[in-house]
Every structure is written in C-alpha cells, then in structure tokens.
Amino acid sequence: MDKDIRDILDIFTEINKIPRQSKHEKQISDRLMTWAEKNNLTAERDELLNVLIHVPPSPGYEKSPVVVIQGHMDMVCEKTPDSSHDFSNDPVKVLIDGDWVHADRTTLGADNAIALAIAMKIAIDTSVAHPELELLFTVDEETGLTGANGLSSDFIKGKVLLNIDSEDDKKFTIGCAGGRDTVISFPLEYIPAPDPCSFMRISVSGLTGGHSGSDIHKGRANANKILARVLDHLDRKSNFYLVSLSGGSAHNAIPRDAEAWIALPEKNSCPPTYINPFIRDLCREYEATDPNMTVTCKEISKSSDKVITRPLTHKIINTVLALPHGVAAMSSRIEGLVETSSNLATLRTNSDTITLSTSQRSSVMSRLDAITRRIESIGHLSGAQVRSGNGYPSWQPDMESKLLKKCIEVYKKVHGNEPVIEVIHAGLECGVIGAKYKGMEMISFGPLITDAHSPDERMSLTSLEKVWRFTKTLLKEL
C-alpha cells in the first residue's frame, strides 16, 4: 500500500476511535482542536463546535486564492441486530479486505471521516504544494446540516470550496437536493390491558436499507411500511391494541428494522394460517431488493398493564400506511435524476407519545414545500400534532463554473479520461454554504463508498488513491 494512503488510513482509524454520532461531536471537535495545536496550526471553533483550521500556503502560493476543504465530523450509526457495539463509547473497528475497507457489523463512518483524514494529511504533508487552506469541519450534517446552517457569515474567507463528501471517484457533484423533516406526534390514550389477553411481538428485520437520498430510487423495502402492512392485515382479523412501535434509526437512512408489541383479547387470537401466507407474499414482493427480509410474529410473556385505545391504535396504523415513502417525482430536466422523494424514517414510543418522523427531499424547493404539506395534511387529518423543520436549500448546478472546468482538466490529466458530472438527490452542505457565502465556487468529490448509512458500508482503497492524486494535483494548479 502506498505510504500516503497508509498515512490517510492511520488518521482515519484514529478518528474512528472517537464516538461521533450526530449531535454528539464534542469529543471529535476537541480532538481536532488539539491536533491543530500539536501541529502548530491556528484553529478556531464556534458555539456549535464547527472547527476551522488555518493552513499557511506553500512557498510560492502566497498570492493564490484561499481554498476551503470541507467535510463533516458526524456519522450515521447503524449496526446489525447481532452487534453489541455501543456507538457512545466503542471505537469503530476498521477492517481491510483486499481493496475494501469496512467495519465490524457497523457503519464504517467513511461518510465523512475520510474527508477529515484527507484534509489533515494535506495540512501536515510538506510535499503537497497548496494555496492557503481553510479546513472546515462541520457538525451534525447527517441529521439536518445544522452545523453548516449555523455558520456565521464571516467564519470563512475562501471563495473556492472542495467538499469531499461524494461517494464515487469517477464523478464530480455540482448540485444536490434540498430537504426538510417532519415529525407527527400522537399523544397516547391508555386503558387497562384486557383480561384475559395475549401479547405478541411483530418484528421486521434483515432489510437492505441504505441512504434515503442516493438509494431511494432502488425500490428497497422500508421496515416501517412493512410493519404497518402486517399490522393492518392483523387488524382485519383481530381487534388488537398497540403497546408500542419502534423502527428506523436516522432521518436519512431507509429503515432496516421495525417492531411492534400488541395485545390481543383471547377471543381475537390470530392463527398462523392467517398471517403466514401474507408474510410470504410480502417477502416475495421484495425478494430482488431485500432477499434477507424476515417478518416474525411471536407470542411473548405479559409486557404491559396498559394498552393504547382501539381508536388510537387504528388511527396510528392508518397514518403509517398513508404516509408516502419513495420517489414522488423524477426530474424533467436531468434524465435519471430523482427530483422529489420522502422517507418514512423512524417510529418511536415513549411514555406519553408515539412519533412518526419523515424526511423529504427535492431539487425544486416549491415541490419540497408541496410534499411536506401533503405529509403534514395526513398528520392533521389523523388528529396528530405536526411539526416541520426549516430544512436546507438545494444547490443549483453551474456548468460554467471556472472551478468545474479546472477540475475536469486536472482529472483528465491525472487519470486520462473524462469524469462524470452529476447532480444528486442526496443533500450536501454545499447548498447551505453556497446560500450563506455568496459567490462561492464549489465542487464535491470523494472515494468510492458503497452502502453508506448501513452496516454494509465499504470504501475502496484504489479509489482513495485516485482521489488523493487528483486532490494533490488540483491544489498545486489552483
């Protein structure tokens, strides 16, 4: 393995020892500040814990424009059901299998620690010629881009930004979707559990999951929607009561697992001959995209002295059924691009509420408003409490950008072929940063990462080496 790549992997491995779940970035932010001080680099951070590290220019580059290299500190924390990993304390184990880097039954966090590692390597490698650099590392990208949203208007001064948060070394990203989240909450109404009654746990597991932006068009199953269909089917046979619902892990991950606990009056028991054929049909529907999907219905010992009322049980199930998930519209301007979509992301139960969280995306902001209003209307019609966030803007492509033309020129020089220029359906911080810092020229690129936001996440070492060579050459020629 090339020494430079080994150095980047060593930095990456050190980053992965630090817990950095979204909204819990204090440790990694502290470590970055300490690293800057140790390497005699000036650093600052804001109240949100965003970090900016200043790197002086190489000799001869003093008059070149300042370049911002940008990535985010946080990661999506997903694991397989058999993993005991604690993302609040345990390091993410970095494993190498041939050309691929992966973790042990968890997300790898290459999205986006690899950006930090590449930037940090550039900052301390005297063999890399570069202009003055600002290394901008933001918090909480994965749950709403709140770190980028909270940047002050004078935090950075550079007008050229390299975002290393794309996931294919053959591509340059020059535009992305905007997004918004909605939370639908049902205040719970309880009654004493029927006597006699039996309790059942219904579980959906083993789904493929994936990124709710880049994978939404692949037709993969959503565990929350599958669970709702099973509950609806049961509801036709037995007047059960909900005890709890849970499903999904993050707003930008297609749910892989979901679970419901229900109570059935003894006279309304549900025989396997009724539910099992329906489960087999569900699994056949998704055998191409989710071959490992498993749906189980098992009796359990008594789990609660109280249950959710029948009218509210019925209302919650119908709402989950009604909420949209998947592609809502394809772009009429760019062939093959998803324009608008939604992800029914999480189901949560606490002592007094059940909440359903959705995440919407669109490259057309008026259509983002429209699908958000549709989701809000479903919640209002169900009598629930509804709240939507402010969201983040889309990033509109500029095909005439000088930065883009330079990147294409350098890519052809380094790799000998043309890059693919794309606009993506996922959200990137470039949209927020571009809206905040007018006149900013931006591009996004990165090494090949597959199955981001899932425990199957992998990063290619060959592509990492390609991105490293491209980035070094680009900085030399900017």
On whether both 320 and 287 belong to a single domain, the answer is yes
Condensed to tens digits (0 to 9), the pLDDT of residues 365-405 reads 999 999 999 999 999 999 999 999 988 899 989 989 999 99
Question: Is residue 267 pLDDT above 70, yes or no?
Answer: no
On whether both 260 and 401 belong to a single domain, the answer is no
What percent of the chain is modeled with pLDDT above 70? 99
Give 217-220 contacts, CB < 8 A, sequence gap 24+.
Answer: 217/327, 217/338, 217/341, 217/425, 218/289, 219/289, 219/326, 220/254, 220/286, 220/289, 220/290
On whether both 194 and 335 belong to a single domain, the answer is yes
On whether both 189 and 323 belong to a single domain, the answer is yes
Strands (E) located in 21-78: 42-45, 51-55, 67-72
> Of 388, 416, 439, which residue sits at a domain end?
388
| CATH value at residue 16 | 3.40.630.10
| CATH value at residue 317 | 3.30.70.360
Q: At CA 31, angle to CA 29 and CA 36, rounded to 5?
A: 100
The predicted model gives 320-349 an average pLDDT of 96
Condensed to tens digits (0 to 9), the pLDDT of residues 271-318 reads 677 889 999 999 999 999 999 999 999 988 877 899 999 999 999 999
Quote the CA–CA distance of 162 and 11 in Å, as a whole number.
19
On whether both 359 and 417 belong to a single domain, the answer is no
Quote the CA–CA distance of 227 and 397 in Å, as a whole number.
39
What percent of the chain is modeled with pLDDT above 90? 87
271 vs 349, residue with greater confidence: 349
Condensed to tens digits (0 to 9), the pLDDT of residues 206-222 reads 999 998 998 999 999 99
Residue 426 pLDDT? 85
On whether both 267 and 380 belong to a single domain, the answer is yes
> Of 388, 422, 441, which residue sits at a domain end?
388
On whether both 223 and 368 belong to a single domain, the answer is yes
On whether both 191 and 168 belong to a single domain, the answer is no
Quote the CA–CA distance of 368 and 88 in Å, as a whole number.
34
Catalytic positions, written as ranges: 74, 141
> Of 388, 405, 437, which residue sits at a domain end?
388
Q: What is the dihedral of CA 148, 150, 152, 153, to 10 degrees?
A: 60
On whether both 117 and 35 belong to a single domain, the answer is yes
- Domain ranges, residue 370: 180-388
Residue 269 pLDDT? 64
Residue 376 pLDDT? 98
On whether both 135 and 228 belong to a single domain, the answer is no
The predicted model gives 335-340 an average pLDDT of 94
Q: In the chain, how many domains are there? A: 2
Local confidence band at 1 (pLDDT 50, 70, 90 cut-offs) = confident
User: What secondary structure letter does DSSP report for 58?
Assistant: P
Quote the CA–CA distance of 418 and 369 in Å, as a whole number.
36
The predicted model gives 193-197 an average pLDDT of 89
On whether both 467 and 403 belong to a single domain, the answer is yes
Condensed to tens digits (0 to 9), the pLDDT of residues 420-453 reads 999 999 889 999 999 999 999 999 999 999 998 8
On whether both 370 and 353 belong to a single domain, the answer is yes
The predicted model gives 114-122 an average pLDDT of 98
C-alpha R_g of the chain: 24
